[in-house]
Structure 1
């Protein structure tokens, strides 16, 4: 049995199986996370501290359209099956985007469901997540990468009812620089542009009716987790941004879930250094749409 400190993982994602009383932990688990991809695994536990596994849930065959950058798997239950959203670097075009896989069980095996990536073919995109709007329509929310646009964006695109493909064109919800807390940087590959990162969007319906979005960026080169909010509760916004990030200790790409006891939990990876990244769990409390770390006692 493994403990959290034994598991090298980025972009942790928890699926709570309440019938079993178990947690399923997915994430980016390749040891060389920036290179060749081997697939995705799951760890299974009952207390967010101890885990069995890893158990393979996806291994690509030779015909699969990617063999590099297998990132940020999320597993969502939808219409009787489980759908895995994950980022891949495409062999033919060299572009990065999110595709959708499908399985009848949480342990897979997951098989390709979408025809390649669902994000635009000519965009560098990553970290797609599923959101069901108030009318019951499925959307993918994802990042348009800073390496292509400089000021990284959070975008959304409608999905077909069976999640097999996109419908229409993507819309831009906001750019990273619209929030007060991220800081810009220059990069030797792109010396003429000022850059802001957007990573790992995750949507959460707050108790006060607001729609919250977790997303990650950098503050003075330190990875951080921030929150934006649609006070209308609609994906289309308008979006407002908290002045200060939720987590600033070199960690991010988080998601929220309620544990077996109904407590609100944040999981993210920290530190943001390979191979040191580990899953972190932080209990939160929610008040009028505001999230903060729960203090014992």
Structure 2
């Protein structure tokens, strides 16, 4: 299989040096894995060009007393304390959360909040099976509607979960972080606010002045943390650029891949926003290094019927840029 033939959303790559194998994790798709159910599957490759058919590594139906069985979004696998930990987001629409009061924008549309959050599962192998460590609840505080949790280990070796706090609760979506216990089963302390989506100054800069009507939500999505050699910390994240005005006056826009920088190297920031890396309805990317040492970004495009797209990247200090699109690997399009 090659990337143009591989349905995937929210791709995450683990480059396993021991086996010289790339593991590409995404939500389970029964049409290609051949296995029904919500969960995570993995494609494997030695060269980023030719991939094995995917195999499931996690299925919610195989877990005992799991608080939710829908979703399976944005799976990531991280090595921690000699084992492999899967982070993926689940939700349960039958468990409603209170609707928050209107904020400074008011509530422009009915908000239906329900239990959503990232779970943590563990395995001794990159191929699973993964078992949820705390099946009775999501890892972030359950009264918050959250998604896309990712692992960050700070300079003192302490684990954190960084996640997106849904715009459905906040209108202006935020990125937040919370400390994790050493076994990643529980959180420590309260969430820390990192930034809000509208902090990106380019968001909406093309909306004509004087457009009447309500402001759309501002979305945070797909965080991934990447330490730089100069001691800074990058965060890849995605949002929707609001630069189109329809005949009805409503404002819309496309999915974009952008990033922010914490020059202090601390996950708590302060975070400085950079301009988008890739537009064209692309996003939820992550950085990894190939076995040859090339810094590479993978993301999905388009949002619907998504496929993986690969980019060679350059890091100059803490400034990130696209060198080229790897059409020889991802087939173009």
Aligned to 1:288: 317
2 CA distance for matches of 1:73 and 1:295? Answer: 26
The whole-number CA distance in structure 2 between the counterparts of 1:211 and 1:250 is 25
Which secondary structure does the structure 2 equivalent of 1:61 belong to? helix
The answer to whether 1:195 aligns with 2:212 is no
Deviation at residue 237 of structure 1 after TM alignment: 0.8
Deviates more, 1:81-90 or 1:91-100: 91-100
Confirm or deny that 1:89 pairs with 2:110: no
Pairwise CA distance, 1:92:
5.2
Unaligned ranges ≥5, structure 2: 96-113, 208-212, 243-252, 326-333
Separation (CA, whole Å) in 1 of partners of 2:260 and 2:176: 13
Checking the alignment, whether the CA contact within 8 Å between 2:285 and 2:300 is kept in structure 1 is yes
In the alignment, does 2:20 pair up with 1:21? Answer: yes
Equivalent in 64, 67, 89 of residue 65 of structure 1 = 67
Instruction: Output the TM-score relative to the length of structure 2.
Output: 0.81
Extract unaligned runs of 5+ from structure 1.
186-190
Give TM-score, length-normalised by structure 1: 0.91
> Does the 8 Å CA contact 2:238/2:284 hold for their aligned counterparts?
yes
C-alpha displacement of 1:253: 0.4
State the alpha-carbon separation in 2 of the partners of residues 215 and 80 from structure 1: 28
More strand by share: 1
* Helix, strand or coil at the partner of 2:60: coil
The CA RMSD over aligned residues, in Å, is 2.0
**Stretch of structure 1 that moved more, 17-26 or 191-200:** 191-200
Alpha carbons 2:30, 2:37 under 8 Å: kept:
no
The answer to whether structure 1 residue 176 and structure 2 residue 190 are counterparts is no
Trace 1:112-127 onto structure 2 (pairs within 5 A).
112-115=132-135, 116-127=137-148
* Greater Cα offset, 191-200 or 18-27: 191-200
CA pair 295-280 structure 1, distance change in 2 beyond 3 A:
closer
Query: In 2, Cα distance between the equivalents of 1:249 and 1:53?
Result: 28
Distance 2:122 2:13 in 1: 17
Structure (1 or 2) with the larger CA radius of gyration: 2
1:292 CA displacement: 1.3
Counterpart in the other structure of 2:246 = none
Q: Residue 215 of structure 1: CA displacement?
A: 0.3
193-202 or 162-171: bigger deviation:
193-202
1:31, distance to aligned residue in structure 2 (A):
6.7
| 2:189 partner SS | strand
Name the structure 2 match of 1:188.
none
- What does residue range 1-297 of structure 1 map to in structure 2 within 5 Å? 2-30=1-29, 38-61=38-61, 63-90=65-92, 93=95, 94-115=114-135, 116-183=137-204, 194-220=216-242, 221-242=253-274, 244-273=275-304, 276-295=305-324
How many pairs were matched up?
284
Structure 1 residues 9-54: Cα deviation after superposition (integer angstroms, max 9, x where no partner) = 110000010111110000124479xxx9521111111111211021
- 1:118-174 Cα deviation digits (max 9, x unpaired): 111111100000000011110000000001100000000000011011111101101
Distance 1:38 1:86 in 2: 11
